Structure 1
Amino acid sequence: MTANRPGIRFGFPAPLLPDGVAPGTNILVSGATDSGARSVALGLTAVESYRNESQLLLSADVCGRELLDEADAVTDTLDPSRTAVIDCSGTADEDHRFDQLAAPIDGPGDLIAIETEFGTLYEKLRQSGYARVRIGVFSISSLLSHSDLQTVSRFVHMLTGRVIATGDLGVFHIDSSLHPDVAVDVFEHFCDLRVEVRRTEEGEVQVRTGAPGAELDEWDSVTPLTTSSPQRRS
């Protein structure tokens, strides 16, 4: 769970989490494949341009460049100079690998290499002068398709612990339609906040939030996400 850390709260694109979250918070974003959960998670990783922030994204299901295109389409605020990507998708198309500040990894199953690269890129971002980092994992589901639940849960536990220790932000996306509830519950246990996403028959994306194990709030529309800077937090 989140350490009681002082500091400026992380803000997000409207209308996501209008009160922001404290430094050291880990968020699990879950929803079916076509629910919009992935876009919501990408919105949560968008840096606040007026803050000294950067982002570190793990791309396990699509090539790194495609993930960045998705992120830019969600918020229209992507700054490549603030962004590092661990491309472990295993794509054979080297021309579409994202190699800025990064070294490609053979595939999502090589969690030791992913962990090593994570530490390297994180330190590069800090050495570049950024005070805090938004970490996004896209997605837990892809990691689970290449490793067992126990191995992936250890990896996620390591990342969430690091987020707490450093006062950063962790965002973890999981496709709930691909896994039994027990798998989602395992990763929820490592996080401070759960964001559940659904798409209505009319195509509206809705979210509800709450602490792990607690009753979630009422469904609230987030269609569309504001394509501008995240809400300013004082």
Structure 2
Amino acid sequence: MTEYLFGIKELDDLIGGVKEGTNLMLIGPPMSGKDDLVNTIIYNGLKEGDSSIIVSTRETGERVLDWFSNNGLDTDTANLGVVDCVTKTLGIPALDKDHIKRAASPVDLTGIGVRIGQYFEEFLVQKEGPGLRFCINSLSTILMYSNLQTLFRFLHVFTGRVKASNSFGIFIVEDEMHDPQTVATLKQLFDGMIEIKETDSGYSIRILGITPKPTPWYEFEVDGSNVRIEKPE
């Protein structure tokens, strides 16, 4: 594999795929479709045989898997692993499952890191998958419990691992939750950004850093795993 496709025709036509080893920040306001967008990018990769790891700091592992099941993916057979950072914080006694590994909380970066490493080992070494998509949803939740320096060190390890393994990483950040200096510091770890902004008619999206110049802003809508991008006339 030499590139990863989003599986969203308009975006793939614009940028021609994402090079192996690329890490992207996905930043946008709350309720702007970020979760569905990144799930769709992962979903489209799983359909093509890629493996995927999702670190979930806001939804239980079961809720994450339900999204994929509800959109037609056979999660029993897909190479999809979820690091669930939520269930144990709710006081719910829950064991690991085939596609879910539980961490103690979003602040348990050591435990999260161990479980991520187990999935990298399973998908890239044991199963020798053709490609791997890695997502943390979201960095903003971790920053509520941790400091920027600690998160930066943690991310440095795993953005490096994405590069070394020729994988594709997407890391979600909530816009307007952080001061500009925090976002600027995090940006140092990424090769580019998927940026979402609110408009009078909805939301628009553009991509920066992985093409010679930023793409134009395009209006978009997300409905489950269907993403509609409207190019300007």
Change in CA separation of 1:99 and 1:156 when aligned onto 2, cut-off 3 Å: same
> What amino acid maps onto 1:45 in structure 2?
I
5 Å-filtered alignment, 1:58-207, equals: 58-71=55-68, 76=71, 78-80=73-75, 81-89=78-86, 90-94=89-93, 99-126=97-124, 127-203=126-202, 205-207=203-205
Q: Is the contact made by 1:47 and 1:55 (CA closer than 8 Å) also made in structure 2?
A: no
Alignment of 1:13 with 2:7, yes or no, is yes
> What amino acid maps onto 2:2 in structure 1?
I
TM-score (norm 1): 0.82
Query: 2:50: which partner in 1?
Result: 53
Give, in angstroms, the shift of residue 115 of structure 1: 0.7
| Counterpart-to-counterpart distance in 2, 1:193 and 1:225 | 25
Q: Is the contact made by 1:136 and 1:172 (CA closer than 8 Å) also made in structure 2?
A: yes
| Counterpart-to-counterpart distance in 1, 2:72 and 2:192 | 24
Change in CA separation of 1:187 and 1:41 when aligned onto 2, cut-off 3 Å: farther
Alignment of 1:222 with 2:220, yes or no, is yes
Calculate percent identity across the aligned residue pairs: 24
| Counterpart-to-counterpart distance in 1, 2:90 and 2:127 | 29
Instruction: In structure 2, list runs of 5 or more residues that go unmatched.
Output: 228-233
2:31 is paired with a residue of what secondary structure? coil
Q: Deviations over 1:164-209 (max 9, x none)?
A: 0010000000001211121111221111111111233323x31011
| Higher strand residue share | 2
Instruction: In structure 1, list runs of 5 or more residues that go unmatched.
Output: 1-6, 230-234
Give, in angstroms, the shift of residue 72 of structure 1: 5.5
1:223 is paired with a residue of what secondary structure? strand
TM-score (norm 2): 0.82
| Counterpart-to-counterpart distance in 2, 1:71 and 1:187 | 29
Change in CA separation of 1:148 and 1:50 when aligned onto 2, cut-off 3 Å: closer
| Counterpart-to-counterpart distance in 2, 1:39 and 1:83 | 16
> What amino acid maps onto 2:107 in structure 1?
G
- RMSD between superposed Cα atoms in Å: 2.6
| Counterpart-to-counterpart distance in 2, 1:54 and 1:179 | 31
Q: After the TM superposition, which segments of 4 or more aligned residues of structure 1 sit over 4 Å from their partners?
A: none
Q: Is the contact made by 1:138 and 1:172 (CA closer than 8 Å) also made in structure 2?
A: yes
